[in-house]
């Protein structure tokens, strides 16, 4: 029998591989500080923070954590992200390295400002 899909962010974190759980909680806590008023929910099976629009999402994978703030929010930080795998709309952080908390905070704050002050919509 297939395991049930998580129905909450807490359930998602508990169902993630053990290596991912601590990093997921760390990232979640960091994003909550940037957007304390945002709602947390699952969309497309991933945790997201949402206010007027989706601010950011994240997900656990076998060897890394993906932070998804959208491509336009990644572009200003390309140089600082040079040592990480960056995709169109996401950044991969390996589990065997500490999360770059200050960099994640800056990217998340940039995305939040884009979404809330300039009304930039989710483009994932």
Q: Residue 114: what pLDDT?
A: 86
Query: What is the distance of C-alpha 49 from the center of its chain?
Result: 8
Rounded to 5°, the CA angle 48-38-112 comes to 85
CA dihedral sign of residues 89, 95, 96, 100:
positive
pLDDT tens-place string over residues 76-97? 999 999 999 999 999 999 999 9
CA dihedral 12, 70, 31, 80 (to 10 degrees): 120
Q: Residue 123: what pLDDT?
A: 63
pLDDT in tens, the chain (124 residues): 556 788 999 999 999 988 899 999 999 999 999 999 999 999 999 999 998 889 999 999 999 999 999 988 999 999 999 999 999 999 999 999 999 999 999 999 999 998 888 777 766 4
In a domain, 3, yes or no: no
Q: Residue 101: what pLDDT?
A: 97
Q: What is the pTM of this model?
A: 0.91
Q: Give how many domains the chain has, as a whole number.
A: 1
In a domain, 18, yes or no: yes
| Structural domain containing residue 81 | 9-117
In a domain, 52, yes or no: yes
- Number of C-alpha atoms within 13 angstroms, CB side, residue 12? 21
Q: What is the CATH number of the domain that holds 89?
A: 3.90.1150.200
In a domain, 103, yes or no: yes
């Amino acid at each position: 029998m297939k395991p049930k899909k998580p129905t909450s962010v807490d359930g998602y974190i508990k169902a993630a591989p053990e290596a991912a759980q601590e990093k997921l909680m760390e990232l979640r806590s960091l994003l909550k500080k940037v957007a304390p008023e945002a709602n947390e929910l699952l969309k497309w099976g991933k945790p997201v923070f949402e206010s007027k629009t989706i601010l950011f999402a994240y997900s656990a994978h076998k060897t890394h954590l993906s932070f998804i703030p959208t491509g336009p929010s990644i572009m200003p930080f390309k140089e600082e992200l040079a040592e990480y795998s960056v995709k169109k709309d996401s950044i991969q952080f390996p589990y065997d390295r500490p999360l770059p908390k200050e960099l994640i905070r800056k990217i998340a704050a940039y995305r939040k400002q884009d979404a809330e002050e300039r009304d930039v919509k989710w483009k994932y």
